[in-house]
Structure 1
Amino acid sequence: MTPRTVTRGAPARRQAMLDYIIQAGSAQVDELAERFGVSRMTVHRDLDALSDQGMVNKQHGGVTTRSSSVFESNFALRSHIATREKQALARAALEEIASGEAVMLDDSTTAAELALLLPAREPLTVITNGLESIDRLKAASGIKLITLGGDYQPRFNATFGLLCEQTLANLRANVAVLSASAILGTTAYVQDPTVTQIKRAQMAAAERRILLVHSAKFGHGALHRLADLKEFDLVLIDESLAAEHRATLDEAEIRYRLIEA
């Protein structure tokens, strides 16, 4: 018998349903109805809502996750992708941070993994627009947490916009830790223009810049150019990076390190 997932209210049920679909890759309506203890009609309403938000792709009798660049920008999806590699990259990034520094974190799920580790470097000042990182650090007594205001975008679980950019213009961090959507050649790309703008502002507000990127992102492009990899003081990548991409980085003399996941 399929274990039943108990949730309270449609929003919580839909989030749990999305998490289940992301991990499974696809699901049938009857399967979801049994798992969440609701009717087929309720499942269809939930899937319609998730589909309208660009989260899933409804098919006859079932649903799949979307592989489009729009869906891959969603925080809920990204939080389930390459978790082991992100945690390894976060541990490596922590080695580059000293107590007493001001650290800038972007909205990425990889930066959120680093946020979990930062209390080990207390005291620290942490500046971020990512609500997941804020949530993970808010109870840390040795962390001075500076939150960047702006327009909240649920899809990224972060704030962006003019207010966020203006706040960044008045701050200076020792190090900024960021991620990117894709790496093509030696250029980092991001899919969303609003996200790209804030990431660039974060880079400009920091003395040192570290890029954390999963090897699977190499060889792909996205809509907006973020920066050349030479603009980063260090690029941390999991050790699964293909030899051809390593050769490209070596030829361009990019400062990078491969991390065992």
Structure 2
Amino acid sequence: MLAPQRRNQIMQILNENKQILVKEISQILNVSEGTLRNDLKILEEDGLLERTHGGAVLPQPPTYENTFHSRSQINQPEKMKIGRAAAELVQNGQCIILDASSTSLELAKHLFNHEYLTVVTNGLATAQELTKNPRINVIVVGGVLRPGSSSLEGLLGKGLLGQIHADVFFTSAQGFTLNEGLTDFSVYEADLKRHIVANVGQVVALLDHTKLNRRSIATFAELRQIDTLVTDDQADPEFLRSLDGVRVVVAGP
């Protein structure tokens, strides 16, 4: 069993039982306790659980305001630079898709002077920001609003997206590696993004340096599907040089 599949199973068991013990789950999944502890560590870093002595529990449901605000404050200067640089890639008259990330929100803030844009998003904060520009047509993808989430998740938006021929998809991710591509910890979000990637003209990844050479649970875009990476000047030069076929934009001061 591959690690992402195993971690998905761990989360399924945890969601059903609200708490798990390392000893019990290692027997159920037939893996060593050391491997399972490493899985729990990664899942905790992604905010999906809280480790306890001998196991793990589900985290306390956060409020929307606290969760999105705290996430948007992480590496905020880098996200602001990336958002500004990404806005320069947007042309008047295009149809673009923005994900619900805090980095895409920074991009949205720099679209105030653009004209005749159609922007599709599943991000609530992003949609509200875009409505400040009356020359932008904003389409919100439907879905389920989960506690602590800034996005509408699920498959309800697939029908709408199938009817839209977008020029560019601007997306962030929890991680980006050469082998796994762009990855996310939400399987619902990853599934929706996978559908978008398969139907859009170009994919532009908006990732600060902490997301590079790091992976999460579910892949939504392989390396060959990514056209452009916009990152900050702290990104590892060696990693950037290894991105064959991907245009790299390093956001300036």
TM-score by structure 2 length?
Answer: 0.71
Among all aligned residue pairs of Structure 1 and Structure 2, give the percentage whose two residues are the same amino acid: 27
Residue 137 of structure 1 aligns with an amino acid whose one-letter code is L
**Structure 1 residue aligned with 2:96:** 103
Q: Residues 230 and 255 of structure 1 are in contact (CA less than 8 Å); yes or no, is this contact kept in structure 2?
A: no
Tell me, in whole angstroms, the C-alpha distance in 2 between the residues paired with 1:239 and 1:218: 12
Q: Deviations over 1:40-98 (max 9, x none)?
A: xxxxxxxxxxxx9xxxxxxxxxxxxx962126995333211111111111111111111
Tell me, in whole angstroms, the C-alpha distance in 1 between the residues paired with 2:107 and 2:167: 16
Residue 164 of structure 1 aligns with an amino acid whose one-letter code is G
Bigger radius of gyration among the two? 1
Q: Does 1:213 align with 2:197?
A: no
Of 240-249 and 96-105, deviating more is 240-249
Q: Deviations over 1:194-227 (max 9, x none)?
A: 0101111222332122111111112211111122
Tell me, in whole angstroms, the C-alpha distance in 1 between the residues paired with 2:148 and 2:196: 20
Q: Does 1:256 align with 2:233?
A: no
Q: Does 1:123 align with 2:116?
A: yes
**Structure 2 residue aligned with 1:87:** 80
Q: Residues 71 and 77 of structure 1 are in contact (CA less than 8 Å); yes or no, is this contact kept in structure 2?
A: no
Q: Does 1:70 align with 2:47?
A: yes
Residue 200 of structure 1 aligns with an amino acid whose one-letter code is R
Tell me, in whole angstroms, the C-alpha distance in 2 between the residues paired with 1:78 and 1:165: 26
Q: Does 1:198 align with 2:175?
A: no
Structure 2 unaligned spans of 5+? 1-17, 19-42, 50-61
Tell me, in whole angstroms, the C-alpha distance in 1 between the residues paired with 2:227 and 2:240: 17
Shift of 1:188: 1.5
Q: Residues 169 and 205 of structure 1 are in contact (CA less than 8 Å); yes or no, is this contact kept in structure 2?
A: yes
Tell me, in whole angstroms, the C-alpha distance in 2 between the residues paired with 1:101 and 1:219: 31
Tell me, in whole angstroms, the C-alpha distance in 2 between the residues paired with 1:123 and 1:254: 28
Tell me, in whole angstroms, the C-alpha distance in 2 between the residues paired with 1:109 and 1:126: 16
TM-score by structure 1 length?
Answer: 0.69
Shift of 1:110: 0.6
Shift of 1:259: 1.8
Structure 1 unaligned spans of 5+? 1-51, 53-65
Number of residues paired by the alignment?
195
Of 214-223 and 151-160, deviating more is 151-160
